[in-house]
Amino acid sequence: MIETEKFAQAIRDAGADWADAERQVAIAEAGEKKTNAKLMLTAQIEHGCKTVAAQSTWADQQDAMEDARIQKGVAKGLLAAAKSNYLAAEVSFKTWQTIQASTRMEKRVYGS
């Protein structure tokens, strides 16, 4: 029973990491949108960019926008890692389950 709990805890931990990574992606996406909005407003007020395209182009050229996009990419990478860790924990448990079932079947067939 202890082995089963170990696998269950690994899956719970991986699920918590996944949830945290999802939260970080949401925060990074919100930060990117906020940075973009601020920079587009700056482009309009301080640099005279009248069209949305001009404002967007100016915002894209700024280091703050690049940093916000990098943070979003990092968060998405952590999310992918968390998902794969969760799947690995599930596969590990299913492998253990299969081994246990095979052992029980062998005991029935060979009468050990």
**pLDDT at residue 112 in the model:** 62
| C-beta of residue 86 within 8 angstroms of C-beta of residue 18 | yes
State the pLDDT at residue 1: 62
Per residue of the chain (112 residues), what is the pLDDT tens digit?
688 889 889 999 999 999 999 999 999 999 999 999 999 999 999 999 999 999 999 999 999 999 999 999 999 999 999 999 999 999 999 999 999 999 998 888 887 6
Rounded CA separation 32/14 (Å): 27
Q: Which H or E run contains 70?
A: helix 63-110
Q: Are 35 and 65 in contact (CB under 8 A)?
A: yes
Question: Where on the phi/psi map is residue 105: left (φ > 0), alpha (ψ -120 to 50), or beta?
Answer: alpha
This prediction's pTM:
0.82
- Please give the pLDDT value at position 27: 98
Contact 78, 24 (CB under 8 A): yes
**Predicted pLDDT of residue 67:** 97
Which structure tokens are listed for 81?
């890692």
Q: What is d(CA 71, CA 110) in angstroms, rounded to the nearest whole number?
A: 58
